[in-house]
Amino acid sequence: MTNIALVDDHLLFREGIKAIFQDEKEMKITLEASDGQEFLEVLRNAVVKPDVLLLDIRMPNLDGYETAKIVLEKYPAMKIIILTMHEEERHIIRMIELGVNGYLMKNASRNEVINCIESVLEYDYYFNNKITSIMRKVMMYKGKRTTTHIIHDLTEREIEVLTLICKEFTAKEIGEKLFISFRTVEGHRKKLLSKLNVRNTAGLVVLALKNEIVKI
């Protein structure tokens, strides 16, 4: 069972999201709050921590950005999906660079919400075509890091693994394509996280696209 937390200051919206999961046998909303401060207080005393956090951006007391920072620091195993009405590039890039696993608009379909959760659990990230397009556009204007030392620090095998990660292959599928074990794939992924100094797989994808290490 995947335990999901929902943090949004609009009760009616929370009720609508909860309705999505009523017929889901493997996912359920186990924790909800109206803002980040309330969420962190409830979370502190929760016996079972959520696997996934659906988080709005603009909320009273403690907004989504500050909440995400605290969660990433104190509960790194929790996947964070931004679920918001704000589609401005500055919000999207700020949250993605912070290290969230996914970004959805509130007009997303029921199926996309479910697919997004499944994706962050399996691949560690989910960005639809619109979000990916905005990422590329903004990264180009912001300028690149110097890619020379980044690429030189990576082995040929690590670049192969990174490329397949960006193409949404699972660790098992990567292992089968490269004829290596699941454990070896995970080893490469952890080395990539360390070498590129990012929090999670979403960070790997963002950095790879930003620096054109991988083109997808």
* pLDDT confidence of residue 42: 96
pLDDT reported for residue 198: 84
pLDDT at 146: 47
pLDDT at 173: 92
- pLDDT of res. 167: 85
Domains of the chain: 2-139 (3.40.50.2300), 144-210 (1.10.10.10)
Mean confidence (pLDDT) of the chain? 89
Give every residue of the chain whose pLDDT is below 70, as ranges.
Answer: 138-151, 215-216
Q: What is the pLDDT of residue 93?
A: 83
pTM of the model: 0.81
The set of residues, in sequence order, having a beta carbon less than 8 Å from that of 19 and lying 6+ positions away, is none
Task: Please report the DSSP string for the chain in residue order.
Answer: -EEEEEE-S-HHHHHHHHHHTTT-SSEEEEEEESSHHHHHHHHHH-SS--SEEEE-SS-SSS-HHHHHHHHHHH-TTSEEEEEES---HHHHHHHHHHT-SEEEETT--HHHHHHHHHHHHHTS-B--HHHHHHHHHHHHHH-PPPHHHHHHHS-HHHHHHHHHHHTT--HHHHHHHHT--HHHHHHHHHHHHHHHT-SSHHHHHHHHHHTTSS--
pLDDT at residue 153, as a whole number? 82
> What pLDDT, on the 0 to 100 scale, is given for residue 65?
96
**How do residues 16-49 score in pLDDT, each as one tens digit?**
999 999 989 999 999 999 999 999 999 999 999 9
